[in-house]
Amino acid sequence: MENKTSKYFKYAIGEIVLVVIGILIALQINTWNKQNEEHELELKILQEIRVNLNLDLNEIQEDIEIMADINAACDDVNTYLRTQESPSEKFFNNAAILRVTPHFDPNTSGYGLLVSKGIGIISSDSLRNDISLHYERLYSYYKRYEEERLRFHALHSEPKLIQHFTPLYDETQKYYLKHKISQEGFNILKKDSAFTKVISAIAYENSSVKNRAERVEKSILSLIKSLDNEIKSLQ
C-alpha cells in the first residue's frame, strides 16, 4: 500500500507539473502572438505616418515657393509704383499674387490611428516624443501663424486691393485672378501711402509664416529620416 501510494503521489505530481508546463507554454505562445500583433501594428502605423509626412512635405514646400513669390511680388509692386508711370501686365500679375494666402492642410490619418491605439505602442522613446511634438505642437503652432495672416488679409490687405483693383478670372494665370487697374486708378494708387504700407505689411506677415513653414519642413525631413531608420529595424 505504501508503495502504491508513493507511485500515485509521484504520478499526481507529474500530472500537475505537466499541466503547469502546458499553461506556461500557452501563456508564452499567447505573449509571443500579442507581441507579434503589436509589432505588426507598430510597423503599419509608422509606415502610414511616413506616407502622410511625404505628402505634407510636398505641400509645405509648394507653399514655401508660393510665399517666396508673394515676397517678390511685394517688392516688385512697391518698386513699380515708385518708378513707373503706367500699369503693365506684369504689374497686374504681381497685384494678383498679393491676394494669395497658402493654406497647409496636414495629413493626419497615421497619427490619428496611433492615438486611437495608444501612442505607447511605439517602442522607441525618442521617436514617440518626436512624433507627438511634431503633430501636437509644431503643426498647431504653424496653424496659428496661418490664422493670424488670414485675419490680417481679411481686415487690411484684401479691402485695400479691392479698393484699387478689379479682379478678373483668367485661366492662363497661375493664381487665376488677374487684377486690372486703369491709368487714372494707377495715378491715384501711386499717391496712396496707405497702400504702400499695406504691401510692406503683407511682406512682413508672409515672411513670418514662411519662416515658420521652413521650420515645419525641417521637422518633417528629420522625422522622415527617423521613421525610415525605425521601419527598417522593425522589418
User: What's the pTM value of the predicted model, to 2 decimals?
Assistant: 0.83
Rounded Cα–Cα distance for residues 120 and 100 (Å)? 41
The residues facing 85 across adjacent strands are none
Task: From first to last of the 235 residues of the chain, give the pLDDT tens digit.
Answer: 555 566 666 666 767 766 677 677 766 766 665 656 677 899 999 999 999 999 999 999 999 999 999 999 999 999 999 999 999 989 998 998 998 999 999 999 999 999 999 988 898 999 999 999 999 999 999 999 999 999 999 999 999 999 999 887 766 665 556 788 999 999 999 999 999 999 999 999 999 999 999 999 999 999 999 999 999 998 7
Residues 6+ apart with CB under 8 A from 127: 226, 227, 230
Q: What H or E segment, with its residue span, contains residue 169?
A: strand 166-169
